[in-house]
Chains A and B, each alone.
Chain A
Protein backbone atom coordinates (compact mmCIF):
# COMPACT_ATOMS: atom_id res chain seq x y z
CA UNK A 1 0.00 0.00 0.00
CA UNK A 2 1.35 3.45 -0.76
CA UNK A 3 0.16 6.97 -0.16
CA UNK A 4 -2.30 6.24 2.62
CA UNK A 5 -0.98 7.57 5.95
CA UNK A 6 0.84 5.05 8.14
CA UNK A 7 -1.72 5.21 10.91
CA UNK A 8 -4.40 4.15 8.46
CA UNK A 9 -2.47 1.10 7.24
CA UNK A 10 -4.34 -1.21 9.55
CA UNK A 11 -5.94 -3.26 6.85
CA UNK A 12 -9.14 -1.27 6.83
CA UNK A 13 -8.19 0.73 3.72
CA UNK A 14 -7.94 -0.36 0.15
CA UNK A 15 -4.55 -0.38 -1.54
CA UNK A 16 -3.99 2.95 -3.32
CA UNK A 17 -2.75 1.16 -6.44
CA UNK A 18 -6.00 -0.80 -6.52
CA UNK A 19 -7.98 2.43 -6.17
CA UNK A 20 -5.99 3.94 -9.08
CA UNK A 21 -6.74 0.86 -11.17
CA UNK A 22 -10.39 1.00 -10.09
CA UNK A 23 -10.66 4.62 -11.25
CA UNK A 24 -8.87 3.73 -14.47
CA UNK A 25 -11.34 0.83 -14.98
CA UNK A 26 -8.50 -1.65 -15.14
CA UNK A 27 -9.95 -4.10 -12.61
CA UNK A 28 -11.95 -7.22 -13.44
CA UNK A 29 -15.59 -7.55 -12.39
CA UNK A 30 -14.83 -9.52 -9.21
CA UNK A 31 -12.29 -6.94 -8.04
CA UNK A 32 -14.64 -4.06 -8.90
CA UNK A 33 -17.39 -5.61 -6.80
CA UNK A 34 -15.02 -6.12 -3.88
CA UNK A 35 -13.70 -2.52 -4.07
CA UNK A 36 -17.21 -1.06 -4.36
CA UNK A 37 -18.29 -3.02 -1.33
CA UNK A 38 -15.34 -1.55 0.57
CA UNK A 39 -16.07 2.00 -0.66
CA UNK A 40 -19.57 1.83 0.78
CA UNK A 41 -18.08 1.41 4.24
CA UNK A 42 -14.89 3.50 4.01
CA UNK A 43 -15.25 7.27 3.64
CA UNK A 44 -11.51 7.93 3.19
CA UNK A 45 -11.17 5.46 0.32
CA UNK A 46 -14.43 6.70 -1.21
CA UNK A 47 -13.13 10.27 -1.16
CA UNK A 48 -9.88 9.22 -2.77
CA UNK A 49 -11.65 7.13 -5.41
CA UNK A 50 -14.06 9.96 -6.25
CA UNK A 51 -11.20 12.46 -6.53
CA UNK A 52 -9.21 10.06 -8.66
CA UNK A 53 -12.18 9.45 -10.95
CA UNK A 54 -12.57 13.22 -11.36
CA UNK A 55 -8.89 13.55 -12.28
CA UNK A 56 -9.22 10.68 -14.73
CA UNK A 57 -12.20 12.29 -16.44
CA UNK A 58 -10.50 15.70 -16.50
CA UNK A 59 -7.44 14.18 -18.17
CA UNK A 60 -9.72 12.56 -20.76
CA UNK A 61 -10.50 15.99 -22.20
CA UNK A 62 -6.88 16.34 -23.32
CA UNK A 63 -7.37 14.63 -26.63
CA UNK A 64 -4.48 13.53 -28.85
CA UNK A 65 -3.26 16.17 -31.25
CA UNK A 66 -2.98 15.37 -34.96
CA UNK A 67 0.50 14.87 -36.34
CA UNK A 68 1.71 17.16 -39.13
CA UNK A 69 1.04 15.65 -42.58
CA UNK A 70 4.68 16.05 -43.59
CA UNK A 71 6.05 14.33 -40.48
CA UNK A 72 7.04 11.15 -42.33
CA UNK A 73 8.51 13.03 -45.29
CA UNK A 74 10.73 15.09 -43.00
CA UNK A 75 11.80 11.99 -41.10
CA UNK A 76 12.69 10.04 -44.25
CA UNK A 77 14.63 13.06 -45.53
CA UNK A 78 16.71 13.03 -42.35
CA UNK A 79 17.22 9.29 -42.63
CA UNK A 80 18.33 9.59 -46.26
CA UNK A 81 20.89 12.22 -45.30
CA UNK A 82 22.45 9.81 -42.82
CA UNK A 83 22.52 6.74 -45.03
CA UNK A 84 25.88 6.44 -46.81
CA UNK A 85 26.23 5.72 -50.55
CA UNK A 86 27.57 2.24 -49.69
CA UNK A 87 24.44 1.48 -47.68
CA UNK A 88 22.29 2.62 -50.58
CA UNK A 89 24.15 0.33 -53.00
CA UNK A 90 24.09 -2.60 -50.57
CA UNK A 91 20.50 -2.11 -49.43
CA UNK A 92 18.88 -4.43 -52.03
CA UNK A 93 21.39 -7.18 -51.21
CA UNK A 94 21.31 -6.81 -47.43
CA UNK A 95 18.46 -9.26 -46.76
CA UNK A 96 20.15 -11.81 -49.01
CA UNK A 97 23.46 -11.28 -47.23
CA UNK A 98 21.95 -11.50 -43.76
CA UNK A 99 20.05 -14.70 -44.55
CA UNK A 100 22.71 -16.42 -46.63
CA UNK A 101 25.85 -14.62 -45.46
CA UNK A 102 26.89 -17.23 -42.94
CA UNK A 103 26.69 -20.23 -45.31
CA UNK A 104 28.54 -18.23 -47.97
CA UNK A 105 31.32 -17.28 -45.56
CA UNK A 106 31.51 -20.87 -44.25
CA UNK A 107 31.76 -22.26 -47.79
CA UNK A 108 34.47 -19.74 -48.67
CA UNK A 109 36.44 -20.74 -45.57
CA UNK A 110 36.12 -24.45 -46.46
CA UNK A 111 37.31 -23.82 -50.02
CA UNK A 112 40.24 -21.80 -48.71
CA UNK A 113 41.30 -24.54 -46.29
CA UNK A 114 40.87 -27.22 -48.97
CA UNK A 115 43.02 -25.16 -51.32
CA UNK A 116 45.75 -24.94 -48.70
CA UNK A 117 45.66 -28.69 -48.11
CA UNK A 118 45.83 -29.47 -51.84
CA UNK A 119 48.73 -27.11 -52.30
CA UNK A 120 50.67 -28.51 -49.36
CA UNK A 121 52.02 -31.84 -50.88
CA UNK A 122 53.88 -29.86 -53.54
CA UNK A 123 55.65 -27.97 -50.83
CA UNK A 124 56.67 -31.08 -48.86
CA UNK A 125 60.21 -32.11 -49.82
CA UNK A 126 60.37 -35.60 -51.42
CA UNK A 127 63.06 -38.29 -50.95
CA UNK A 128 66.61 -37.01 -50.98
CA UNK A 129 67.80 -36.46 -54.54
CA UNK A 130 70.79 -38.44 -55.73
CA UNK A 131 73.96 -36.47 -55.09
CA UNK A 132 75.54 -35.16 -58.21
CA UNK A 133 78.96 -36.69 -59.08
CA UNK A 134 81.50 -34.30 -60.36
CA UNK A 135 84.12 -35.24 -62.98
CA UNK A 136 86.91 -34.97 -60.40
CA UNK A 137 85.10 -37.37 -58.07
CA UNK A 138 84.58 -39.86 -60.94
CA UNK A 139 88.20 -39.63 -62.00
CA UNK A 140 89.37 -40.08 -58.43
CA UNK A 141 87.12 -43.11 -58.03
CA UNK A 142 88.42 -44.66 -61.26
CA UNK A 143 91.97 -44.11 -60.08
CA UNK A 144 91.20 -45.80 -56.77
CA UNK A 145 89.61 -48.73 -58.56
CA UNK A 146 92.65 -49.02 -60.79
CA UNK A 147 94.88 -48.99 -57.73
CA UNK A 148 92.84 -51.74 -56.08
CA UNK A 149 92.97 -53.87 -59.21
CA UNK A 150 96.74 -53.36 -59.31
CA UNK A 151 96.99 -54.27 -55.63
CA UNK A 152 94.95 -57.43 -56.15
CA UNK A 153 97.21 -58.50 -58.94
CA UNK A 154 100.38 -58.04 -56.84
CA UNK A 155 98.97 -59.21 -53.52
CA UNK A 156 98.64 -63.02 -54.32
CA UNK A 157 102.31 -63.19 -55.31
CA UNK A 158 103.47 -61.47 -52.11
CA UNK A 159 101.20 -63.63 -49.94
CA UNK A 160 102.59 -66.87 -51.49
CA UNK A 161 106.24 -66.11 -50.68
CA UNK A 162 106.18 -66.94 -46.90
CA UNK A 163 104.72 -70.35 -47.67
CA UNK A 164 107.87 -71.24 -49.46
Chain B
Protein backbone atom coordinates (compact mmCIF):
# COMPACT_ATOMS: atom_id res chain seq x y z
CA UNK B 1 0.00 0.00 0.00
CA UNK B 2 2.77 2.40 1.04
CA UNK B 3 4.72 1.48 -2.06
CA UNK B 4 1.70 2.28 -4.22
CA UNK B 5 1.25 5.66 -2.56
CA UNK B 6 4.96 6.46 -3.01
CA UNK B 7 4.77 5.39 -6.62
CA UNK B 8 1.74 7.62 -7.15
CA UNK B 9 3.52 10.54 -5.52
CA UNK B 10 6.52 9.88 -7.74
CA UNK B 11 4.38 9.79 -10.86
CA UNK B 12 2.67 13.01 -9.79
CA UNK B 13 6.03 14.69 -9.19
CA UNK B 14 7.17 13.53 -12.61
CA UNK B 15 4.01 14.87 -14.18
CA UNK B 16 4.52 18.25 -12.55
CA UNK B 17 8.25 18.39 -13.24
CA UNK B 18 9.32 18.22 -16.87
CA UNK B 19 12.95 17.70 -15.79
CA UNK B 20 11.94 14.63 -13.82
CA UNK B 21 10.16 13.35 -16.91
CA UNK B 22 13.34 13.86 -18.94
CA UNK B 23 15.33 12.02 -16.27
CA UNK B 24 12.88 9.10 -16.42
CA UNK B 25 13.55 8.96 -20.16
CA UNK B 26 17.30 8.92 -19.43
CA UNK B 27 16.56 5.98 -17.13
CA UNK B 28 14.99 4.22 -20.12
CA UNK B 29 18.18 4.74 -22.09
CA UNK B 30 17.33 7.98 -23.91
CA UNK B 31 20.64 9.85 -24.01
CA UNK B 32 19.08 12.77 -25.91
CA UNK B 33 17.08 13.62 -22.79
CA UNK B 34 20.30 13.69 -20.78
CA UNK B 35 21.64 16.20 -23.29
CA UNK B 36 18.54 18.36 -22.80
CA UNK B 37 18.97 18.29 -19.01
CA UNK B 38 22.63 19.18 -19.39
CA UNK B 39 21.80 22.05 -21.75
CA UNK B 40 19.16 23.39 -19.37
CA UNK B 41 21.08 23.21 -16.09
CA UNK B 42 24.75 23.42 -17.08
CA UNK B 43 25.13 27.17 -16.60
CA UNK B 44 23.25 27.38 -13.30
CA UNK B 45 25.17 24.45 -11.79
CA UNK B 46 28.56 25.80 -12.91
CA UNK B 47 27.74 29.27 -11.60
CA UNK B 48 26.39 28.00 -8.30
CA UNK B 49 29.61 26.03 -7.81
CA UNK B 50 31.74 28.95 -8.98
CA UNK B 51 30.12 31.26 -6.45
CA UNK B 52 30.58 28.59 -3.79
CA UNK B 53 34.26 27.78 -4.37
CA UNK B 54 35.18 31.01 -6.24
CA UNK B 55 37.51 29.23 -8.60
CA UNK B 56 36.33 28.70 -12.16
CA UNK B 57 38.42 25.62 -12.96
CA UNK B 58 37.44 23.88 -9.72
CA UNK B 59 33.79 24.83 -10.27
CA UNK B 60 33.75 23.28 -13.76
CA UNK B 61 35.44 20.15 -12.47
CA UNK B 62 32.83 19.82 -9.73
CA UNK B 63 30.01 20.49 -12.21
CA UNK B 64 31.33 17.68 -14.40
CA UNK B 65 31.19 15.41 -11.36
CA UNK B 66 27.60 16.52 -10.66
CA UNK B 67 26.39 15.56 -14.14
CA UNK B 68 28.45 12.39 -14.10
CA UNK B 69 26.70 11.37 -10.86
CA UNK B 70 23.33 12.20 -12.37
CA UNK B 71 24.14 9.94 -15.33
CA UNK B 72 25.48 7.17 -13.08
CA UNK B 73 22.32 7.27 -10.95
CA UNK B 74 19.94 7.06 -13.91
CA UNK B 75 19.10 3.39 -13.35
CA UNK B 76 17.99 3.94 -9.76
CA UNK B 77 16.40 7.38 -10.25
CA UNK B 78 12.95 7.84 -8.72
CA UNK B 79 11.13 11.18 -9.06
CA UNK B 80 10.40 11.60 -5.36
CA UNK B 81 11.33 15.31 -5.41
CA UNK B 82 11.87 18.10 -7.93
CA UNK B 83 14.75 17.30 -10.26
CA UNK B 84 16.52 20.57 -9.41
CA UNK B 85 16.34 19.73 -5.70
CA UNK B 86 18.18 16.48 -6.38
CA UNK B 87 20.62 18.19 -8.76
CA UNK B 88 21.52 20.97 -6.32
CA UNK B 89 21.74 18.50 -3.44
CA UNK B 90 24.51 16.72 -5.36
CA UNK B 91 26.14 20.04 -6.27
CA UNK B 92 25.98 21.38 -2.71
CA UNK B 93 27.33 18.14 -1.28
CA UNK B 94 30.30 18.24 -3.67
CA UNK B 95 30.94 21.93 -3.04
CA UNK B 96 30.87 21.56 0.74
CA UNK B 97 33.23 18.57 0.50
CA UNK B 98 35.59 20.49 -1.79
CA UNK B 99 35.59 23.48 0.54
CA UNK B 100 36.22 21.27 3.55
CA UNK B 101 39.01 19.29 1.86
CA UNK B 102 40.82 22.17 0.23
CA UNK B 103 39.87 25.08 2.43
CA UNK B 104 43.34 26.03 3.63
CA UNK B 105 45.08 25.77 0.29
CA UNK B 106 42.39 27.46 -1.79
CA UNK B 107 40.94 30.22 0.33
CA UNK B 108 43.64 32.72 -0.54
CA UNK B 109 43.63 31.63 -4.17
CA UNK B 110 39.85 32.20 -4.32
CA UNK B 111 40.03 35.65 -2.86
CA UNK B 112 42.92 36.62 -5.12
CA UNK B 113 41.28 35.12 -8.20
CA UNK B 114 40.29 38.12 -10.30
CA UNK B 115 38.24 35.90 -12.63
CA UNK B 116 40.17 37.02 -15.67
CA UNK B 117 38.89 33.84 -17.33
CA UNK B 118 35.39 35.19 -17.81
CA UNK B 119 35.27 36.36 -21.42
CA UNK B 120 31.56 37.26 -21.61
CA UNK B 121 31.80 39.89 -18.94
CA UNK B 122 34.91 41.36 -20.53
CA UNK B 123 33.10 41.60 -23.87
CA UNK B 124 30.18 43.31 -22.18
CA UNK B 125 32.60 45.67 -20.45
CA UNK B 126 34.15 46.82 -23.71
CA UNK B 127 31.54 49.57 -24.00
CA UNK B 128 32.40 50.89 -20.55
CA UNK B 129 35.06 53.42 -19.79
CA UNK B 130 38.17 52.42 -17.87
CA UNK B 131 36.81 54.20 -14.81
CA UNK B 132 33.46 52.40 -15.00
CA UNK B 133 35.26 49.10 -15.39
CA UNK B 134 37.39 49.80 -12.33
CA UNK B 135 34.35 50.75 -10.26
CA UNK B 136 32.50 47.66 -11.42
CA UNK B 137 35.51 45.45 -10.63
CA UNK B 138 35.88 46.99 -7.17
CA UNK B 139 32.17 46.38 -6.44
CA UNK B 140 32.39 42.84 -7.70
CA UNK B 141 35.47 42.11 -5.59
CA UNK B 142 33.73 43.47 -2.54
CA UNK B 143 30.66 41.32 -3.18
CA UNK B 144 32.75 38.22 -3.76
CA UNK B 145 34.79 38.78 -0.63
CA UNK B 146 31.64 39.41 1.42
CA UNK B 147 30.08 36.18 0.14
CA UNK B 148 33.34 34.30 0.75
CA UNK B 149 33.30 35.29 4.43
CA UNK B 150 29.97 33.53 4.98
CA UNK B 151 30.04 30.08 6.55
CA UNK B 152 29.69 27.41 3.85
CA UNK B 153 26.08 26.44 4.57
CA UNK B 154 24.93 30.06 4.83
CA UNK B 155 26.67 30.77 1.52
CA UNK B 156 24.93 27.82 -0.15
CA UNK B 157 21.57 28.99 1.19
CA UNK B 158 22.09 32.58 -0.01
CA UNK B 159 23.23 31.49 -3.47
CA UNK B 160 20.22 29.21 -3.92
CA UNK B 161 17.85 31.87 -2.60
CA UNK B 162 19.27 34.77 -4.56
CA UNK B 163 20.55 33.30 -7.83
CA UNK B 164 18.51 30.11 -8.24
CA UNK B 165 15.36 31.76 -6.83
CA UNK B 166 14.52 28.66 -4.81
CA UNK B 167 11.75 28.60 -2.22
CA UNK B 168 12.64 28.07 1.44
CA UNK B 169 11.15 24.58 1.31
CA UNK B 170 13.32 23.57 -1.64
CA UNK B 171 16.49 24.96 -0.04
CA UNK B 172 15.57 23.00 3.10
CA UNK B 173 15.37 19.80 1.07
CA UNK B 174 18.70 20.50 -0.63
CA UNK B 175 20.43 21.19 2.68
CA UNK B 176 18.54 18.42 4.49
CA UNK B 177 17.27 20.69 7.24
CA UNK B 178 14.02 22.28 8.33
CA UNK B 179 12.46 25.30 6.66
CA UNK B 180 12.89 27.33 9.84
CA UNK B 181 16.58 26.39 9.93
CA UNK B 182 16.90 27.70 6.36
CA UNK B 183 15.20 30.98 7.33
CA UNK B 184 17.58 31.29 10.23
CA UNK B 185 20.61 30.56 8.00
CA UNK B 186 19.42 33.14 5.48
CA UNK B 187 18.70 35.78 8.04
CA UNK B 188 22.13 35.46 9.62
CA UNK B 189 23.80 35.43 6.20
CA UNK B 190 21.94 38.52 4.97
CA UNK B 191 22.65 40.25 8.26
CA UNK B 192 26.39 39.75 7.64
CA UNK B 193 26.03 40.89 4.04
CA UNK B 194 24.01 43.96 5.05
CA UNK B 195 26.79 44.96 7.41
CA UNK B 196 29.35 44.63 4.62
CA UNK B 197 27.44 45.72 1.53
CA UNK B 198 24.69 48.12 2.61
CA UNK B 199 26.93 51.10 1.83
CA UNK B 200 26.96 50.07 -1.83
CA UNK B 201 23.38 51.24 -2.36
Binding site for B on A (CB under 8 A): 2-3, 16-17, 20, 24, 48, 50-59, 61-68, 71-72, 74-75, 78-79, 82, 91, 94-95, 98-99
Contacts and interface: CB of A to CB of B under 8 A. Distances in A.
Chain B: number of interface residues, binned into ranges = 35 or more
Contacts, number: 114
Given A24-B162, A55-B193, 4 more contacts: A2-B184, A65-B47, A65-B56, A79-B71
B187 A61 contact: no
Nearest to A87: B29
Contacts of A20: 161, 186-187, 190
A125 to B, nearest CB: 46
Interface stretch (B11-19, B62-70, B94-102): B62-70
A50 B198 CA distance: 8
B187 A68 contact: no
A51 B196 CA distance: 10
Contacts of B51: 62
SS of B interface (majority): helix
Contacts of A64: 43-44, 47, 163
B10 to A, nearest CB: 17
Given A61-B143, A67-B43, A53 B201 contact: yes
Contacts of A63: 120-121
Interface of B: 28-31, 38, 42-44, 46-47, 50-51, 56, 60, 63-64, 67-68, 71-72, 115, 118-121, 136, 139-140, 142-144, 146-147, 161-163, 168, 180, 183-184, 186-188, 190-191, 193-194, 197-201
B143 A98 contact: no
A161 B51 CA distance: 136
Contact of A54 (B30, B140, B168, B200): B200
A57 B29 contact: no
